[in-house]
Structure 1
């Protein structure tokens, strides 16, 4: 996919060709969370909006904020009761998976402080460590391994450990994950 978003939503700006799901995305909390529009997120939550509401693709606002590196938005959502371990319906991804995949170390740290479970697996059997390894996110890998060395031996559905997910040529990361 050409866009670096969690699902098929591609723009945070309305256009004449939006479908109903895209309009709901725009009006809901998800686009504001993704874009770090703190005031909109606060207003939504202040009006009684559900911090764990999911969009048509099954992602909560915390997934979007985590993926796009919006730490303040993540904090606000968590302060309003968002589930740090929420898993998507279809892929089983958590906000931790999203933050790790993008290399957002501070957000991974925040999730750990707020009860994030680093042993949760997505539908491919991958932990957040697998996701960080896939993208050579060294600092996130170090953080997760320091938190729980048992993650090094977890295998996904293709029987791959995190070290097996590292792109070629990443010897420093291999050293960390062996």
Structure 2
């Protein structure tokens, strides 16, 4: 009879054996909890005096991850714990508002705006959150961002495009014209 228990066959290896220290730090850190929407773990990390604006190796904060992945309760908790709503990533200069708008998380866009997020902020491509929402066809986010800052309608990115130029959706193009 063939032996099928791979734990004893010499072919089993634990995933953690192959993790880098950066990967292990991410997995155990506040970023992974925020990415996965694990509010209990986020609160536990914050109770251990972890800085709500601590960046991972790539320059992202937990607020960037929670905003991109639609975890409003985690976003609220992080902001209440002192996370800055306009914190930018190192390389792309994206804010949590850029990330939420791009993914179409209207509730998070509204919350971040209510807490002072800058709708005119620009990433490294000079795109505003309105550009990001427009290019992805996020009509509700476009509407909210346009109400928050009508001036962004005419903002031009590094390629000279307005949010309307980035839009593929005719409804959004019409709204922005």
Q: Same fold (TM over 0.5)?
A: yes
More displaced 10-residue stretch of structure 1: 57-66 or 16-25: 16-25
Q: 5 Å matches for 1:146-157? A: 146-157=147-158
Superposition deviation, residue 73 in structure 1: 0.1
Relative to structure 1, the CA distance from residue 35 to residue 148 in structure 2 (aligned partners, 3 Å threshold; closer, same or farther) is: same
Q: Work out the CA distance in 2 between the residues paired with 1:22 and 1:177.
A: 42
Q: Work out the CA distance in 2 between the residues paired with 1:148 and 1:83.
A: 20
Secondary structure of the structure 1 residue equivalent to 2:18: coil
Q: Work out the CA distance in 2 between the residues paired with 1:159 and 1:17.
A: 45
Larger radius of gyration: 2
> Is it true that 1:25 corresponds to 2:26 in the alignment?
yes
Q: Work out the CA distance in 2 between the residues paired with 1:124 and 1:97.
A: 12
Superposition deviation, residue 120 in structure 1: 0.6
What's the TM-score once normalised by structure 1's chain length?
0.89
Q: 5 Å matches for 1:22-171? A: 22-167=23-168, 170-171=169-170
Secondary structure of the structure 1 residue equivalent to 2:52: coil
Aligned match of 1:173: 172
Aligned match of 1:6: none
What's the TM-score once normalised by structure 2's chain length?
0.90
Superposition deviation, residue 21 in structure 1: 1.4
Q: Work out the CA distance in 2 between the residues paired with 1:32 and 1:64.
A: 9
Aligned match of 1:3: none
Q: Work out the CA distance in 1 between the residues paired with 2:148 and 2:115.
A: 14
Q: Work out the CA distance in 2 between the residues paired with 1:125 and 1:17.
A: 38
Q: Deviations over 1:61-96 (max 9, x none)?
A: 000000000000000000000000000111100000
Q: Work out the CA distance in 2 between the residues paired with 1:133 and 1:17.
A: 40
